[in-house]
Structure 1
Amino acid sequence: MQLLFLGTGAGMPSKQRNTTATVLKLLDERGTFWMFDCGEATQHQILHTTLKPRKLEKLFITHLHGDHIYGLPGLLGSRSFLGGNEPLTIYGPKGIKAWIELTLATSKTYVKYPLTINEIEEGIIFEDDQFIVEAKPLEHVIPCFGYKVTQKTLSPELLIEKTDALGVPRGPLLRQLKEGKDVELADGRVVKSAEVTGKPKEGFQVTILGDTKFCENSILLSNGSDIVVHEGTFDLETADLARLYGHSTIVDAANVCKEANAKHLIINHISARFMPSDMKEMLAQVEHYDFPVYVADDFAEFDWSDRTLVKRGN
């Protein structure tokens, strides 16, 4: 799994940051990617990556402010123009369905793929045999959600050196063993799955929060997460503005992560008032916390492998 930040700015684009769009790359897990919010010109940002719009499987909108949705019509249309026939499901607050349908109808944009738009409420909004996605309302100036993605426990690793030693032939029997089934060999011997597999591996948990003040639901949704993506529109010196406009400081975000016993924090949704040279001072305000804190730039990518987070790119 990787997290790729296509846009990390707040309110409007700047020379340093485009508006909000975060990609959860699940190419290894399911051959697709999911997106959280879709600010203006998100499809332009995609052009600078290896992402293919037809691989976009799910799109989660936190709230209906323009810097989180103005990129939707263009991306939906381009996905169709590029010949993508794969279904796409959009999740978001009440009003997202009417806005998308009116925008597409008014501009005479007809998508050629199955498009499902789900207006959500608090609770589990998606579950299959691999993932659970839970949503909770946050505290912003308009209705806004945060999302927690939980990967279910992974199948145990097949210890191929043990199956080779026992003479298990390559093929369907190995798959059965990996699935937890005991198998009988041609000579009558029974090989038990537990003897040739490792322990099941825990999946990852990623919480991606929309715009919000410090609030209890942010903590509940982030509880135990491996990674929390939290807005940090302001810093300590501008905390009064954060309260006024329903936003958080980087310290608010770190306190959410601390209270939730989360393991890594990535800050996005940075006000255009902050220049790249200000990031060092912003990070200094949270350097005393005992978990890693990153400020994401556009096109920064974070790789999650073997329960370790590695930052790549910007």
Structure 2
Amino acid sequence: MELTLLGTGAGRPSKLRNVTSMALRLPTPSSSVWLFDAGEGTQHKLLDTPIKLNRIDRIFITHLHGDHVFGLPGLLSTRAYDGGVDPVTIYGPPGLQKMVDTLFELSGSHIAYDIHYVETVEGILFDDGQFRVEAAALEHRVPCFGYRVVEHDRPGRLDVGKLQDAQVPAGPLYGRLKAGNDIELPDGRKVCAKDVMGPSIRGRIVTILGDTKPCEGAVKLAHDADLLVHEATFGAGLEEKAEAYGHSTTLQAAEIAKQAGAHKLVMTHFSSRYELADANRLADEARTIFPATDAASDGDVFAIPCRS
């Protein structure tokens, strides 16, 4: 499970940073890719990664500002040429479907696969048994949401030593125990799954926020997150400017991570006033409050390991 930052700039693309987009690669058995935001040039940035458009089956849009959504129509159109024939589900604020459908209609574009739109609302958006996705409203200049991806806990490993001691023959019975089912052996003895399984493997949590001022919705979504992606458009000392434009500073992002008890903070959405060489300074500002902080650059990949 890993997150690739495709664009880490704010407002407009630059030679150093593209506008916002990121891709979350899920573990087996799904091995799907979920895209979060799709600023202009997102499909070009994907060409620099191993990620294939046909692996993207869910797209989550935080809000309708152009630096987060103008790359979506082109990406959807190209997806069909990249072997994308399976349906894709797109989550986003009101007006997203109208925007995309209007552009396709006026340009005469034909999409040869099904696109399902789901209007984002606060609460649980879906739960497929492996992952649950929750949304909450943030505070920006237009309706904006953040997303919390929660992996369900998984059964622990079978203790082969205990199985051998109990003289459980290898084969289908192992599979039934792994699935959490108790079994009965030919001699009448019963073996309970809980007695031969290790501790459950705790699911991971990834929180991806759209543009926002510090707010309760951000803290709620980021609670206990293994990885929190938070915008940091401005550096420390520019809190008034951040407030005026509905954004956050490095220190404010760090405060949210600290309040939420997150485990790692990745800052993104940096103003074009900052050079790549400023990244270390911006990260150091946040680390005075939340030490486990990185300032992301385009192309950075962050692994989300399982919790022990």
Query: Which sits farther off after the overlay, 159-168 or 233-242?
Result: 159-168
Query: Which sits farther off after the overlay, 29-38 or 62-71?
Result: 29-38
Q: Which amino acid aligns with 2:297?
A: D
Q: Which residue of 2 aligns with 1:39?
A: 39
SS in 2 for 1:305: coil
Q: Check whether the contact 2:253–2:286 (CA below 8 A) recurs between aligned residues.
A: no
Structure 1 runs of 4+ aligned residues shifted over 4 Å read none
SS in 2 for 1:16: coil
Please show how residues 76-115 of structure 1 align to structure 2 within 5 Å. 76-115=76-115
Residues 161-208 of structure 1: per-residue CA shift (max 9 Å, x gap): 433444433332111101111223344443321222111121011111
Q: Extract unaligned runs of 5+ from structure 1.
A: 309-314
Q: Which residue of 1 aligns with 2:63?
A: 63
Q: Which residue of 1 aligns with 2:214?
A: 214
Mapped partners of 1:164, 1:207: distance in 2: 42
Q: Which amino acid aligns with 2:298?
A: D
Could you say if the C-alpha distance between residues 167 and 108 of structure 1 is closer, same or farther in structure 2, counting changes exceeding 3 Å? farther
Mapped partners of 2:118, 2:306: distance in 1: 33
Q: Check whether the contact 2:202–2:307 (CA below 8 A) recurs between aligned residues.
A: no
C-alpha RMSD of matched pairs (Å): 1.6
SS in 1 for 2:9: coil
Residues 123-182 of structure 1: per-residue CA shift (max 9 Å, x gap): 111112112111111111111101111111112222234334444333321111011112
Query: Which sits farther off after the overlay, 207-216 or 188-197?
Result: 188-197
Matched, 1:301 2:301: yes
Please show how residues 1-314 of structure 1 align to structure 2 within 5 Å. 1-307=1-307
Q: Extract unaligned runs of 5+ from structure 2.
A: none
Mapped partners of 1:148, 1:290: distance in 2: 20
Mapped partners of 1:176, 1:226: distance in 2: 31
SS in 2 for 1:236: coil
Query: Which sits farther off after the overlay, 274-283 or 184-193?
Result: 184-193
Q: Which amino acid aligns with 1:60?
A: F
Mapped partners of 2:216, 2:226: distance in 1: 18
SS in 1 for 2:211: coil
Mapped partners of 1:236, 1:74: distance in 2: 36
Mapped partners of 2:202, 2:293: distance in 1: 23
Mapped partners of 2:224, 2:75: distance in 1: 33
TM-score by length of 2: 0.95
TM-score by length of 1: 0.93
- Measure how far apart 1:291 and its partner are: 4.1
SS in 1 for 2:294: strand
Give the fraction of aligned pairs with identical amino acids, expressed as a percent: 43
- Measure how far apart 1:44 and its partner are: 0.7
Q: Check whether the contact 1:39–1:69 (CA below 8 A) recurs between aligned residues.
A: yes
SS in 1 for 2:287: coil
Q: Check whether the contact 1:27–1:33 (CA below 8 A) recurs between aligned residues.
A: no
Residues 74-102 of structure 1: per-residue CA shift (max 9 Å, x gap): 11011112231222100000000101111
Q: Which amino acid aligns with 2:244?
A: L
Q: Which residue of 2 aligns with 1:311?
A: none
Mapped partners of 1:111, 1:161: distance in 2: 54
Could you say if the C-alpha distance between residues 161 and 47 of structure 1 is closer, same or farther in structure 2, counting changes exceeding 3 Å? farther
